[in-house]
A and B are shown apart, each in its own frame.
Chain A
Amino acid sequence: MDSARADLTGTIQCTPVAQSPRTPFEMPDALASHILESAREAGCEHAELRVERIRSQAVALRDGDLETVADDTETGVGLRVISDGAIGFAASVALDERTGRRLVEEAVEIARLAARASGQRVELAFEPGHGEVEWSSSHRIDPTGVPLARKVALLARWSRRVLDAPGVDHVTSSVLAVTEDKFLADLAGTIARQRRVRIHPQLEAVALGAGGDFETMRTLAPPAGRGWEYLEGEGWDFEAELERLGPLLVEKLGAPSVRPGRYDLVIAPTNLWLTIHESIGHATELDRALGYEAAYAGTSFATFDKLGSLSYGSPLLQVTGDRTVEHGLASVAIDDEGVEAQRFELVRDGILVGYQLDRAIAARSGLGRSNGCAFADSPMHIPIQRMANVSLTPTPGGPSTDELVAGVSHGILVEGDKSWSIDMQRYNFQFTGQRFFAIENGQLAGQLRDVAYQATTTEFWGSLAATGGEDTYLLGGAFNCGKGQPGQVAPVSHGCPSVLVTDVRILNAKEESGT
């Protein structure tokens, strides 16, 4: 429970990940204070207010011609309270004193309605007030401020470059940019103003073969918590990637279909981030493990009684949750429940040692303080437990990707993510990728087609035979991690090195379909 008096005049107590000028989004301190006081006077045991402005821009080209343009600015205010031991949330796109009064009334009204069927009072783990906090993710150029014509020109140039490669028939290219300004105030006295910037450029090429056959290949550049400078080469070498894309695609179209069986896999971070996301990231969300997502996203095989004892994988497996890493898509200074961002262990030496928590789950589980994993994707949505940047630690001085390949006699090198699916307890998964290279006697032996790898989480991570060094480490991720009802999407990053996983089941997708 959080019963401290509203005090909206604190001091800076949080350490920003990266310094930036005050955001241009001026938040109404006096109005926030008024709404929070109204909630307290209405008997609410807890109240927190978020005012947000989220600007999203999408541009997409097909074969170099502009196809899609979207420029969306969402603004709104959301109030979460605990009243009568139940959670109530109300949100509106209007923002003034009258709306504030109505938000309090509506949040309390639905909390009291929910209390009619409440079997358990909601309490929140204690979190001290952090005073005034200002924070911005690390970026140089706000991508939503870049003129449309400049974006179109860059994507058109990229498209022409790949289209000009022999054998490439079609190209789609896109960039999605988001600038998220968020103001949060709560009854504990935290006032946080935060800006997060993220960008995701993609280009996919299509090559047509004889008899209706075709293949696609997408760029491997991950989405990043960076600004427009990312597309200009800061953090990724797009020119080099585009140069290789056409020839690699043509090689893939002519590659042999994989023979199903069991293989040793060298998995690059451009593919492995998604396997980590699905099989470790979601499985270590304690709300899932305790059954609070049973109706939708699912539960977890990593049940609470196994904390400290579950053998998640080989002793090489070291996994952390981190909401502070620079350029991380889930990085913040203060989460959406007023909790300071943290870095914490999830798997140590292959053993499950931690979970991702929000305040209600931290209180209910008796684990103490929340580790700051609450997030709402919109001012119109209630914060729920969402994923931190969950990352696999590289081996200091560990092998390069080439050295991992050199140690494999019969295997496959996997690059880039594509199709993914995992069961509701995060056991059985199946992934494909952008490209698969056969490994024979420690050497790459050309690409393979129709490859999918399928495994059970603990079996897969138990077969982790080597983790690459820091030089192989990459922060991958996605903008669109889905969870909750109503559905919310969250951006999240996952860092990892290249790895070697032995004896993994490989399927031939064409054979699976019976064609």
Chain B
Amino acid sequence: MTLPAPQEVIDAAIAAAAHEPCIVIVEESHESEIRFANNTTTTNGRRRDRRVSVIRFCEVEGGTAAGVATRSGEVDVAEMVAAAAGDAASSPPSPDAAPLVEGGEDPGFAAAPTEEDLGAMAPVLDGLARAFDAARSADRVLAGFLEHQAETVYLGSSTGLRRHHAQATGALHMVGRSIDGARSAWVARSTEDLSSLDVAAMDAELATRLGWAHRSVALPEGRYEVVLPPAAVADLMVDVVYSASGQDAEEGRTVYSSPGGGTRIGERFFDLPFALYGDPAEPGLECAPFLVVGASSSEASVFDNGMDLERTEWFAEGTLTNLRYHRAGAARSGRRFVAPVDNLVLELPGATGTTEDLVARTERGLLLTCLWYIREVDPANLLLTGLTRDGVYLIERGEIVGAVNNFRFNESPIDLLRRTVEVGASVTTLGREFEEWVKRVRTPPLRVTDFNMSSTSAAS
């Protein structure tokens, strides 16, 4: 079956709505992946997916309501329009109602969806085969995941707006373990172009870290000076941004709520002038420059579909500058419209140096290569709990001197940025836990004092 062109689906749905207010979103994705463990490939797959959302807007008593229908594959646009219209007509007025976005047609809107090339995986597979052979002869086992996606989104509305964005995303994740499971290490690289992956270099990095772990050191729970590499910082920053809902803050239920009511926008949180932002035009981290929302929430609205996205600073010079509001919420609160952006950057302007530089300047501390199972414990101070995983190392006099047992930590990333005493240059990275949701991220290595290791973990 050849699916109709996305542009035809949009035109047909708008026609089926008799040009009453509506928005149509077509998201096309082609993906391939290879999974491996115990030095062999395991579950491997390809998929061609298409999701279509029709959003109808109806005037109801007291305002405007929205209804949404999402289907996959070859859709019956008339059924979808009727379903969305039925839900809208039977709903109360939407608190996020706003005029639909006006505009013209993006360059590239007429293009066909981007195809994903399975052939690009073959050289990586050959590299993995060599790495598996090397691992077997060195009593190591490798596990990991190779993935590549080509995603194209088309958005059209009854106002004549036609938007288009195409993006490739890929990554290779590798874990190396000693045959007895006592030592382990993790590395990952994100890339749009799989040919840029150097499997041998990643495998060598794993071997180096596993070598560090030939000496093991048992340390108790307590507070430690730590060096957090960019990947660990990335995972800790996700909740900082995730919690940045304007309405939630105004209602007094987040770390960004002011004790006297309202929000803490304008308050300086950190002595260091950190910038935390998203920007669809960020070099090397480019992402969709317009908003796509399939279902409304307190901070993002289906009415705002197609809105331009721009650089959005959550923190600038250490000060909270923005929280997320849809247009209707922003108007009610006297704030600006701020939407989520699909990338994340933390930087300290002017900071230089790498993780290795921070390690070299450490008298005694821990290098936490990656963090895992991070969950919110207390939204009032954004206390998170989580664990170290696949590589905690003791640093003494600027050198890695051995591997340390794992720990459970209880820390707020807000407090952590307050206690940061040294920052390196921000680099493109990939978090361990949240990479599935935040694939475009640039963060620096940090040195943090008094990192709270609540207990030890016997996991290895």
| Contacting pair B372 A423 (CB below 8 A) | yes
Q: How far is the CB of B179 from chain A (nearest CB, A)?
A: 10
Contact A148 B458 (CB under 8 A): no
Query: Ordered nearest first, which 6 A-B pairs have the shortest CB separation?
Result: A212-B259, A93-B73, A89-B45, A425-B459, A119-B40, A94-B1
Pick from A66, A86, A94, A426: contact of B94, CB below 8 A: A66
Chain B residues with CB under 8 A of A430: 377, 385, 408, 410, 454
Whether B459 lies near A421 (C-beta < 8 A) is no
CB closest residue in chain A, given B73: A93
Q: Is B21 an interface residue (CB 8 A)?
A: no
CB within 8 Å for A119 and B136 given contacts A69-B67, A94-B1, A421-B373: yes
Nearest chain A residue, comparing its CB with the CB of B35? A485
B125 touches A117 (CB 8 A): yes
A113-B44 contact given A291-B141, A295-B173, CB 8 Å threshold: yes
A122 to B149 CA separation, bound complex (whole angstroms): 26
Q: Give the total of A residues in contact with B, Cβ under 8 Å.
A: 98
- CB A487 to nearest CB in B, in angstroms, measures 5
Let me know if A127 is at the binding interface, CB within 8 A. Answer: no
The answer to whether B458 touches A208 (Cβ under 8 A) is: no
Task: Let me know if B389 is at the binding interface, CB within 8 A.
Answer: yes
Q: Mark B177-191, 1 if CB is under 8 A from A, else 0.
A: 100010010100000
- A167 CB to nearest B CB, Å: 13
If the complex has contacts A69-B66, A72-B70, are A90 and B45 also in contact, measured as CB distance less than 8 A? Answer: yes
Distance from B43 Cβ to chain A, minimum over Cβ atoms (Å) = 5
B 144-176 contacts with A by CB, 8 A: 144-145, 147, 173-175
- Assess whether A507 is in contact with B454, with CB atoms less than 8 Å apart: yes
User: Which residues from 405 to 449 on chain A have a C-beta closer than 8 Å to any C-beta of chain B?
Assistant: 419-428, 430, 432
Q: Are A432 and B377 in contact (CB under 8 A)?
A: yes
Most chain A CB within 10 A, of B3, B42, B415, is at B42
Contact of B74 with A by CB under 8 A: yes
The answer to the question of A387 belonging to the interface, with a C-beta cut-off of 8 Å to chain B, is no
Q: What's the Cα separation between A152 and B356 when bound, in Å?
A: 55
Write out, one digit per residue, whether chain A residues 112-145 have a CB within 8 A of any chain B CB (1) or not (0).
Answer: 0111111110100000000000000000000000
**Known: A87-B44, A512-B454, A514-B452. Contact between A380 and B49, CB under 8 A?**
yes
A396, CB-defined interface residue at 8 Å? no
Residue A506 is within 8 A (CB to CB) of chain B in the complex:
no
When distances are taken between beta carbons in the complex, the residues of chain A under 8 Å from B92 are 65-66, 152
Q: How far is the CB of B410 from chain A (nearest CB, A)?
A: 4
Which residues on B sit within 8 Å (CB–CB) of A69?
A: 66-68, 87, 91, 295-296
Q: Is the CB of B70 within 8 A of A92?
A: no
User: At the interface, yes or no: B243 with Cβ under 8 Å from chain A?
Assistant: no
- Within 8 Å of chain B (Cβ to Cβ): is A88? yes
Q: Which residue of the partner chain, among B1, B40, B389, contacts A423 with CB atoms under 8 Å?
A: B389
Nearest chain-A residue to B3 (Cβ)? A94
CA distance A99 to B410 in the complex (A): 51
The residue of chain B having its C-beta at the shortest distance from the C-beta of A450 within the complex is: B378
- Give 10 CB contacts A-B under 8 Å: A69-B91, A69-B295, A94-B1, A117-B126, A212-B257, A212-B259, A293-B37, A382-B43, A423-B457, A486-B436
Given A73-B72, A117-B129, answer yes or no on A291-B181 (Cβ-Cβ < 8 Å).
Answer: yes
Return the contact of B1 from the options A65, A90, A95, A294 (Cβ within 8 A).
A95
B71 touches A292 (CB 8 A): no
- Interfacial residues of chain B within 105-136, with CB under 8 A of chain A in the complex: 118, 121-122, 125-126, 128-129, 132, 136
CB of B454 within 8 A of CB of A211, answer no
User: Which of A58, A93, A291 interacts with B48 by CB under 8 Å?
Assistant: A93
Query: Nearest Cβ in chain B — how far from A276, in angstroms?
Result: 17
Report the separation of the CA atoms of residues A120 and B40 in the bound assembly, to the nearest whole angstrom. 6
Check B74 against A94 for contact (C-beta < 8 Å): yes
Structural contact, B253 and A214, CB atoms closer than 8 A: yes
Q: CB distance A216 to B73 under 8 Å? A: no
A170 part of interface (Cβ distance < 8 Å) = yes
Complex CA distance for A513 and B50, rounded to whole angstroms? 44
Interface string of A377-393 (1 = CB under 8 A from B): 00011101000000000
**Which residues from chain A contact B51 at a C-beta distance below 8 Å?**
74
Cα–Cα distance between A240 and B216 once the two chains are bound (Å): 55
A-contact 0/1 string along B382-399, CB 8 Å cutoff: 010111011000000000
Do A148 and B91 form a contact, CB below 8 Å, given A58-B295, A75-B72? yes
State whether the Cβ of B333 lies closer than 8 Å to any Cβ in chain A.
Answer: no
Contact at B40–A485, with CB atoms within 8 Å?
A: no
Q: Are B458 and A292 in contact (CB under 8 A)?
A: no
Given A70-B295, A75-B72, A169-B252, residue A90 in contact with residue B46 (CB < 8 A): yes
Contacts of A111 in B (CB 8 A): 44
Residue numbers in A under 8 Å from B459 (CB-CB): 298, 301, 423-428
| Cα–Cα distance between A152 and B257 once the two chains are bound (Å) | 29
Interface size on B, residues (CB 8 A): 108
> Is the C-beta of B192 less than 8 angstroms from some C-beta in chain A?
no
CB-defined contacts of A99 to chain B, threshold 8 Å: 1
Complex formed: what's the CA distance from A452 to B1 in Å?
54
Residue of B41, B374, B454 most packed against chain A (CB within 10 A): B41
B376 contacts the other chain (Cβ, under 8 Å)? yes
Complex interface: chain B residues within 8 A of A450 (CB): 378
Q: Confirm or deny: A213 has a beta carbon within 8 angstroms of a beta carbon on chain B.
A: yes
Interface residue B460 (Cβ < 8 Å from any Cβ of A): yes
Return the chain A residue nearest B264 by Cβ: A212
- Contact B41–A65 (Cβ < 8 Å): no
CB nearest to B419 among chain A residues = A514
List chain B residues, Cβ under 8 A from A216. Answer: 253, 379
B31 at the interface (CB under 8 A from A): yes
Verify A114–B37 contact, CB threshold 8 A. Answer: no
Known interface pairs A89-B45, A213-B380; A291-B87 also in contact (CB < 8 Å):
no
Q: Are the CB atoms of B71 and A73 closer together than 8 Å? A: yes
Q: A110-B32, A114-B44, A485-B35 are in contact. Are A206 and B251 (CB under 8 A)?
A: yes
Contacting B at CB under 8 A, from A194-217, are 206, 208, 211-214, 216
Q: Is B350 an interface residue (CB 8 A)?
A: no
Interface bits B443-459 vs A (CB < 8 Å: 1, else 0): 00000000010111111
Across the interface, do B40 and A117 meet the contact criterion of CB distance under 8 Å?
yes
- State whether B143 touches A380 (Cβ < 8 A): no
Whole-angstrom CA separation of A298 from B389 in the bound complex? 10
B72 lies within 8 A of A295 (CB): no
B contact residues around A513 at 8 Å (CB): 377-378, 381, 383, 410-412, 415
Q: From the candidates B145, B252, B389, B412, name the one contacting A212 in the complex (CB within 8 A).
A: B252
**Does B104 lie at the interface of the complex (its beta carbon under 8 Å from any beta carbon of A)?**
no
A106 CA to B32 CA in the complex, in Å?
10
Q: If the complex has contacts A75-B73, A149-B90, A486-B31, are A382 and B95 also in contact, measured as CB distance less than 8 A?
A: no
Q: Are B47 and A421 in contact (CB under 8 A)?
A: no
Cα A30 to Cα B189 in complex, Å, equals: 44
- In the complex, whether B211 has a CB less than 8 A from a CB of chain A is no
Whether the Cβ atoms of A214 and B380 lie closer than 8 Å is yes
Complex Cα gap A513–B452 (Å): 8
- Is A515 in the interface zone, CB < 8 Å from B? yes
Contact of B126 among A68, A78, A116 (CB under 8 A): A116
A106 neighbours in B (Cβ, 8 Å): 46, 118
Tell me which of B46, B173, B295, B374 contacts A68 (CB under 8 A): B295
Shortest beta-carbon distance from A282 to chain B in Å: 11
Please indicate the chain A residues that have their CB under 8 angstroms from the CB of B361 in the complex: none
**Complex CA–CA separation, A344 to B58 (angstroms):** 53
Is the CB of A290 closer than 8 A to any CB of chain B?
A: yes
Give the CA-CA distance A514 to B376 in the complex, in Å: 15
User: Which residues of A sit under 8 angstroms from B389, Cβ to Cβ?
Assistant: 298, 423-424
